[in-house]
Structure 1
Amino acid sequence: PADAALAREISSEIVGGAIDATGKLSLLASAALIGRSRVLVTNDSAPLHLASAMNTPTVAIFGPTVTTFGFGPLAEASAVAQVAGLSCRPCSSHGPMTCPLTHFRCMLDLAPAQVHASVMSLLDRAP
Structure 2
Amino acid sequence: MILERVAGLSPGMAPVANHLTETLAIVKRYEDADRWGREAMEFGPDEPMNFTIAAWSAVQAGWPDRARRYVAEIPPPRIPRSGSGSSGSVSRSGICRPRGAMPNCCPSARSRSTRSFRKTSAWRWSAA
TM-score normalised according to structure 1 size: 0.30
Higher RCO, 1 vs 2 (CA within 8 Å, ≥6 residues apart): 1
The structure richer in strand per residue is 1
The structure richer in helix per residue is 2
Greater Cα radius of gyration, structure 1 or 2: 2
